[in-house]
Amino acid sequence: MASPPPAARALRRRGSLAPYGFLGPAALLFTLFFALPIGFAVYLSLRAVKVKGLGLGSHARTEVWAGLSNYTSALSDSELLSGSGRVLLYGALLVPTMLGAALFFALLLDVPRVRFGAFSRLVIFLPYAVPGIVASTLWGFLYLPQVSPGYYLLTQAGMSGPDLLHGGGLYLAMANIAVWGGTGFNMIVIYTSLRALPAELYEAARLDGCSELQIALRVKIPLVAPSLVLTFFFSMIATLQVFAEPMTLKPLTNSMSSTWSPLMKVYRDAFVQGNVYSAAATSVVIAAATLLLSFGFLKLVNKRTNGGS
Amino acid sequence: MSTTTAPAPRRTAPALPRKGSAAAPRRTAWTPTLLLLLGAVYCLVPVVWVVTAATKSRQELFTTFTYAPGSGFWDNLAELSSYRGGVYWQWMANSALYAGAGALLSAAVSGVTGYALAKYRFRGRSTVFNVLLAGVLMPPITLAVPQYLLMSKAGLADSYWSVLLPSVLSPYGIYLSRIYAEAAIPDEVVEAARVDGAREWRLFRSVALPMMVPGLVTVFLFQFVAIWNNFLLPYIMLGDDHKFPVTVGLYSLLQQGANEPALYTLVITGALLSVLPLIALFLGMQRYWRVDLLSGAVKS
């Protein structure tokens, strides 16, 4: 992140209540739509329904305290575990590819005397405007051998294309959709921080006879490292939360189970199987894992940057 | 939209003496140019496909060459418009409502919050910022399931409010607004206004806010796209398909298409039309996507 402004010193002197007033709307919304639901999820995760007799009649189903039993069953659930494994594999394919491409394109855009830079930037950014549902629908059709131009070309050349909708190919199919959708956005974030670097930095390097490649590798990349960390962080979070894309591909292939990603499992538990208690426990576990991973990552980054310099 | 946007500042200040590069001939750097164009072609593959596929009739869809245009666009459009009494256009209108109203409110809340976090030092400032940012980390499902249950208790599930309200608070928007306020509002200006005796709210309204407009337009655009593209929240909240946004609507069409392939042409035409508003927003408001505004503004 950019270094904090040296000032705001003067503003502190007025120890007024103004900033708290400005924060009011956000605090209210946060309470209602973040804190309260999270608290409620935790509460639900500790509850269960007890069915009396045949479960008929209005008083046959009662909510009782369940202690940690929802958690023990969530954590020992093999579907959650294998779903997490699938998402990790998908993320391992996706995140390095996407961020590598984003950094690459951002550096290219920042090269002096590039033509059609504005056009390329806009077009590479364009998929960001396409909803995940639509992106997956489009790619889903393009993965079908009878539609895809890639398959068409391969058949003309006498070869057969890989099956992208079954088995291991599904990971490639999924990762490609996300790379397509996310590269442009991350490219813009990195490009913005490249543009924010003072031009004098390169002038000196250029006068010393550095090539553009050397400038990119030795000056630009280290200086945009904070925005790389930021994009990596957000990509990681987004990966863990993948939902719309596998939901959309599901009708096109029988390799996609209804619990392919952990979020899909929560959805199924809550709304298909009607067990909000177990769904709440699972979603709390996912949230805790996300937080743990995030803070672990941030701590690692801080340690690195503090220890390094 | 306001017109107070300053012309984009050039990063390379002309004041600097630039002996070496200024004298260099202005040759085009072809390798980077071509690589970028290659990236652009990859990004256009599905876009061009959906444009051509939407012109194909049901018979042509799976039989003609992928990028060969068909003859059925107007029939597809008419069929989509008449599908279940024009419900598709209802979905589009709903998306516009959710995204437009949600993003407007979101930009307002983000602006005032980001300003407070950037320009005041007060007790709990970093805690507030960290707690708000932690909101980004919450898996949407962890929020959406209890939000749905709470909304049901309040009698608001399956209503416009149930999708609109949870979309207003945007940790990312607050983050962006804070960065923007830090960069775009010089403390000297704020101090000068304060010496003039401006009260804090008036100071924000008449001094800080105008300076933040370009940043807030950016927040609006990001949030508009985020809400327009959101699937999970409306999918969980809504049951009545007349309140669906276009993402959930298209998904329901696609689900039916699995059993009724005749619907595929409608899905494809609908997918194409659903991205046109966002693309128009991008092209029409390009100058607000000039994120290089974020730098330069206060560089002295």
Using 50, 70 and 90 to split pLDDT, how confident is the model at B5? very low
What residues does each domain of chain A span?
77-274
pLDDT, tens digit (0-9, with 9 covering 90-100), for B128-163: 888 888 887 888 888 899 999 999 999 998 999 999
Q: Judge whether residue B36 has pLDDT over 90.
A: yes
pLDDT reading at B222 higher than 50: yes
Instruction: Report pLDDT for B103.
Output: 96
CB-based contact, A209 to chain B, within 8 Å: no
Residue A306 has a pLDDT of: 67
A148 or B85: which carries more pLDDT confidence? B85
Please answer whether residues B278 and B228 qualify as being in contact, where contact means their C-beta atoms are separated by less than 8 angstroms. yes
Best of A134, A180, A273 to mutate (most B CBs within 10 Å, chain B): A134
Q: CA A207 to CA A202: how far, in whole Å?
A: 8
A124 touches chain B (CB under 8 A): yes
Q: How is domain B44-294 classified at the architecture level of CATH?
A: Orthogonal Bundle (1.10)
A221 has a chain B CB within 8 A of its CB: no
d(CA A284, CA A36): 14
According to DSSP, the residues that pair with A50 across neighbouring strands are A62
Query: pLDDT at position A256, please?
Result: 86
Q: Pick A25's closest partner by Cβ from B45, B112, B121.
A: B112
Share above pLDDT 70 across residues of chain B, in percent, rounded to a whole number: 87
Please tell me the predicted confidence (pLDDT) of residue A12. Answer: 47
With a CB cutoff of 8 Å and minimum separation 6, the contacts of A74 are A80, A278, A281, A282, A285
CB burial of residue A222 (10 Å; 0-12, 13-18, 19+): exposed
The whole-number pLDDT of residue B164 equals 94
Select the more confidently predicted residue: A159 or B244: B244
pLDDT of B272: 93
Nearest Cβ partner for B135 among A30, A130, A199: A30
pLDDT at B141: 85
Q: Are A122 and A159 in contact (CB under 8 A)?
A: no
Residue B300 has pLDDT above 50, yes or no: no
Question: Is A108 in the B-facing interface, judged by CB distances under 8 Å?
Answer: yes
CATH of domain A77-274: 1.10.3720.10
Dihedral of CA atoms A176, A182, A186, A191 in degrees, nearest 10, equals 80
* pLDDT value of position A15: 55
Q: Does A149 touch chain B (CB under 8 A)?
A: yes
Residue A112: list chain B partners with CB under 8 A: 21, 29
Distances (CA, A) of B141 to A47, A220, A261, B144: 19, 38, 12, 5
Identify which of A9, A40, A291 has the shortest CB distance to residue B149.
A40
Instruction: Give how far the C-alpha of residue A124 lies from the chain's centroid of Cα atoms, to the nearest Å.
Output: 18
Q: Which two tokens stand for residue B167?
A: 């979309």
- Chain B neighbors of A12, CB-CB under 8 A: 120-122
In this complex, the residue of B66, B194, B232 whose CB is nearest that of residue A147 is: B66
Residue B8 has a pLDDT of 43
Question: What is the C-alpha separation between B166 and A127, in angstroms, rounded?
Answer: 25
pLDDT < 50: residue spans in chain A? 1-4, 6-13, 308-309
**Whole-angstrom Cα Rg for chain A:** 25
Contact A276/B138, CB-based, under 8 Å?
A: no
- A1–B179 CB contact, under 8 Å: yes
Q: Which residues contact B119 (CB under 8 A, 6 or more apart)?
A: A8, A11, B181, B182, B185, B187, B190, B208
Per the prediction, chain B carries an average pLDDT of 82
Asked whether residue B18 carries a pLDDT value surpassing 70, the answer given is no
Q: Which of A44, A97, A93 is nearest to A70 (CA)?
A: A44
Backbone angles phi, psi at A61, to 5 degrees: -110, 115
Structure tokens at B120: 């005041």
Among A24, A27, A17, A6, smallest CA distance to B199 is for A17
The predicted structure's pLDDT at residue A267: 92
Cβ–Cβ contact A210 with B under 8 A? no
Write down the ipTM of this complex: 0.84
pLDDT of residue B19: 43
Cα angle B196, B200, B202; round to 5: 75
pLDDT recorded at residue B246: 95
Are the Cβ atoms of A287 and B139 closer than 8 angstroms? yes
The pair of structure tokens assigned to B274 is 């659903």
Task: Look at residue B161 in the predicted model and tell me its pLDDT.
Answer: 94
> How close are the terminal C-alpha atoms of chain A, in Å?
16
pLDDT of residue B295: 37
Alpha carbons A259 and B87: distance in angstroms, whole number: 30
Evaluate if residue B2 carries a pLDDT over 80.
no
The full set of domain ranges for chain B reads 44-294
Please tell me the predicted confidence (pLDDT) of residue A298.
84
Predicted confidence band at B25 (pLDDT cuts at 50, 70, 90)? Answer: low
